[in-house]
Amino acid sequence: MKKQFRSFEKARKFAQSLKLKNIREWDNYCKLDVIPNDIPKAPDQKYKNNGWINWGDFLGTGTVAPKDIQFKPFFQAKQFVHSLGIKSLKEWREYSKSQRPTTIPGNPEKIYKNKGWKGYGDWLGTGTVATFNIKYRSFEKAREYVHSLGITNQRKWVEYAKSGKKPDDIPSAPQKPYKNKGWINYGDWLGTGTIRHRDRKYWSFEKAREYVHSLGIKNSKVWREYTKSGRLPKEIPANPNQVYKNKGWVSNGDWFGTGSVASYLREYWSFEKAREYVHNLKIKSQREWVQFIKSGKLPKEIPANANTVYSKNGWKGYGDWLGTGRLQTQSREYWSFEKAREYVHNLKIKSQREWRIYTKSGKLPKEIPADPHKVWKNKGWKGIGDWLGTGSIRPGDIDYLEFNEAKKIVRELSKKYNIKTNKDWTTAVKKGLIPKNIPKAPWYVYSKKRIKK
């Protein structure tokens, strides 16, 4: 049955008796479920075209929706605002929130758009004009004025622009309005002569390098300190590697005159000649090799990173490089898997732990790898039990019985050995009472079978 509501006039009279101040309070009231059944919770929809004006009228507050307000014409409104003596947009916003008449909009830029609006400077009567509406001096006249100020850098210019002393017809950010109208850079604008790096005229590479050689600079760190000291002639770049790229630049050693050359530019001895030299040093380990490099005794014709430089020209590992005979695992020549396994069987090693101890003892023949599972993966390797000859097989390599078959056997064993609990099961496993083709952890092995317990 269609719900019957009160007439608009009666509903409005009821709503005004509640003394609610706004729509939010009305919504909260409706949520209490005490509203009469014949009063709609959404009166603006129910009484649309049947008396509804706005919420201010319905609640009796007198508040009117912005779209229903009749604002004063632009010029009358502006005249009123001028009389207030408001100096800034911040003051206007504070005033709008507290004392503004309803006939004066709080957002005049929207209400009076295309109806006289020119900006808040015009609206408030302060004379301030939006940037895009300002008529600036010509570039030449503005620059001439700025030169007279004696400002020495861009930071000081920004401070001046914010000080309130700058004429309105000179822009704070001159690079924008004067783009393509004379603007070069801030050095030209301020009259300091400072020029951006890419606009500077530097000496030729040869002339600049000759000057730098005379400074006696030894390395990049000293060079950076010198460039920051303010003593570097403006005709010489602080970043010569970029400015003189493809124009003579070789390296920092060439630039400073120290003779140092970047590693990738050096000409080293052949691998065979360098290795022969290193063999004569009688270095015993990679750690000793690193210490030798740091000592400064390594000839410049031999690279400190020999493994990289000779990676495709003979490098086989540090054992070969140092002459100790030690080779990288992938470079060694091992016995066949069968021959190595037979040798290991004769050692009578009982576990993987004993095997690790043996490999570290120094007794393992060099023809047998300490990590056979890597060397012979997919080439005969079946597990540590097979390798040692103990017969032990990793759980993951065992072929277990089908679940139902295993369960049948386990139930028989349970009766035989009185296995009733998890603890009883663990004890039976440790005693060797459970066949190897039945898993010790059946809940894990058979978990993916989706078999009911």
DSSP string over 32-60: TT-S-TTS-S-HHHHTTTTT---HHHHHT
Is the model's pLDDT at 449 over the cut of 50?
Answer: no
- Give pLDDT tens digits for 28-52: 888 887 899 999 998 888 888 888 8
Give the C-alpha separation, 382 to 368, whole Å: 16
For residue 159, give both structure tokens.
């401070």
How far are the Cα atoms of 325, 334, 449 from residue 316, in angstroms, in the given order? 11, 16, 49
Q: How confident is the model at residue 412 (pLDDT cuts 50, 70, 90)?
A: very high
pLDDT in tens, 307-324: 888 888 888 888 888 887
* Segment 163-220, tens digit of pLDDT: 778 887 888 889 888 888 888 888 888 887 655 555 568 889 889 888 988 888 888 8
pLDDT at 453: 41
**Average pLDDT for residues 366-385, to the nearest whole number?**
86
For 336-357, what is each residue's pLDDT tens digit? 889 988 998 999 998 888 988 9
Instruction: Indicate the SS3 state at residue 332.
Output: coil
**Biggest alpha carbon–alpha carbon distance for the chain:** 113
Q: Is the pTM of this model over 0.75?
A: no
Side chain identity at 233, as an amino acid letter? P
How large a percentage of the chain has pLDDT more than 70?
87
Is residue 228 classed as helix, strand or coil in its secondary structure?
A: helix
DSSP, residue by residue, 384-409: HHHHHTS----GGG--PPPHHHHHHH
**217 CB-contact burial (10 Å; exposed 0-12 / middle 13-18 / buried 19+):** buried
Distances (CA, A) of 48 to 7, 64, 66: 12, 16, 18
Domain boundaries of the chain, sorted by first residue: 8-67, 69-132, 134-195, 199-264, 266-330, 334-396, 402-449
Q: In angstroms, rounded to a whole number, what is the distance separating the alpha carbons of residues 64 and 76?
A: 21
